[in-house]
Amino acid sequence: MTARVGRKKTTIYDVAAAVDASVSTVSLVLNGDWSRYRIKEETSERILKTARELGYKVNLRARGLRLSKSGLAGMILPHYRNRFFADLAETFELGVRKRNLCPIVVSTQRDVEVELKVASTLLAQRVEFLFIAGVADPAALNRMCDEASVPCVNVDLPGTGAPSVVSDNRAGALLVTQKLIDKVRATGKSANDMLFLGGVAGEYATDNRIAGFLEALRQAGVDPRSDMVSCCGYRPENSSSAFRAYVERHGKLPSGLFISSITTFEGVVRYSVSTATALDCAVGCFDWDPFAADLPFTVAMLRQDVESMMEIAFNSLTTERQLARDILLVPPILERA
């Protein structure tokens, strides 16, 4: 078989000409409702056979144009490089395929320009709905969707212009911190030396996680101090040096360590490896990664409940729910404790 780059594709017109029928008949037959339109079985068989012989494949873009629906569903997310976003993408694809649509997932590397450009491309492609995940400010994208009359939903980070499905950061952090406190006290240490590491103050997720962390401390009778929280951003280098600074300042490890994201965790491990410091303290992490889960010390990991989140997100695409614009909280799952 030789490559036939550039050859023209078979259309229903070609099929119609070949069987000497009208395009309408061909269309009806190929779409399966020839009996409803009283087309003879023999005719329909001839058409089907010829279509197969000519290698006819429907042009979904022409169909989409006629029907004014594209068969495409879009999702925007920052990247695929951690399990949360990878799972989001795969779960989205699965759900979209189940609805007989074709998924378009595009990563934007957290670049606002790219986010805007990608969104407008997807809307110009007339996606039937758009999932917006991990975008710092979804408002602008929500507005674009609104103008294009395309239903959309915010995932992971909430926005006011559409329904939002978000992990219950506060409840999750509360839960893990309680576990950590139990463990700290079980080993005879003090919950006064706990540390929250990572994230960016002022960010939705970080603020809620901190709130949960502090609440658990208060519930345990600990009075939170400002040096119990170190928002050092997401880059491993930053958490590495922030953690080092903490240890040097206090002359010891914290008794319990709450790590706010997987990349923050990376930095902590890097510190531990490079300084040959065993992480001899209770550790919890708001994120999950198979490698991190196999590290030589126990980590209480919170895995975001991607499946539930996506199911809820798909359900929020109906008109009424589009208008409601709720923030729907999904509790994360404690993976290991």
Partner DNA sequence: GATCGTTGCTAAATCTATTTAGCATCAGGC
Partner DNA sequence: GCCTGATGCTAAATAGATTTAGCAACGATC
Q: Which of a second copy, DNA, none does residue 104 bind to, with CB < 5 to 8 Å depending on kind?
A: a second copy
Question: Distance (Å, rounded) from C-alpha 142 to C-alpha 150?
Answer: 9
Q: Which of a second copy, DNA, none does residue 186 bind to, with CB < 5 to 8 Å depending on kind?
A: none
The smaller minimum CB distance to DNA, of residues 20 and 223, is found at 20
Question: Distance (Å, rounded) from C-alpha 284 to C-alpha 267?
Answer: 14
Out of 36, 149, 248, 249, the residue judged to bind a second copy by CB under 8 A: 149
Residue 34 Cβ, how far from a second copy at the closest point, in Å?
A: 21
Does 225 contact DNA by CB under 7 A? no
Does 296 contact a second copy by CB under 8 A? yes
Out of 1, 3, 5, 67, the residue judged to bind DNA by CB under 7 A: 67
179 φ/ψ sector (left φ>0, alpha ψ -120 to 50, else beta): alpha
Q: Which of a second copy, DNA, none does residue 80 bind to, with CB < 5 to 8 Å depending on kind?
A: a second copy
What are the angstrom distances between the C-alpha of 114 and each of 71, 117, 119?
23, 5, 8
Does 38 contact DNA by CB under 7 A? yes
Stretch of 19-27, 42-50, 120-128, 211-219 lying at the interface with a second copy (CB under 8 A): 120-128
Question: Distance (Å, rounded) from C-alpha 75 to C-alpha 86?
Answer: 12
Out of 20, 36, 124, 251, the residue judged to bind a second copy by CB under 8 A: 124
What are the angstrom distances between the C-alpha of 156 and each of 75, 76, 93, 331, 333?
13, 12, 17, 12, 15
Residue 89: CA count within 13 A, CB half-sphere = 15
221-230 burial, b at 16+ Cβ within 10 Å, e below that, comes to ebebeeebbb
Residue 305 Cβ, how far from a second copy at the closest point, in Å?
A: 17
Residues 158-217, interacting with a second copy (CB under 8 A):
161
Does 218 contact a second copy by CB under 8 A? no
Does 4 contact DNA by CB under 7 A? no
Residues 17-36, interacting with DNA (CB under 7 A):
20-25, 27-28, 30-31
Is 128 in contact with 70 (CB distance < 8 Å)? yes
Orientation angle between helical segments 112-124 and 139-147, nearest 10 degrees: 20
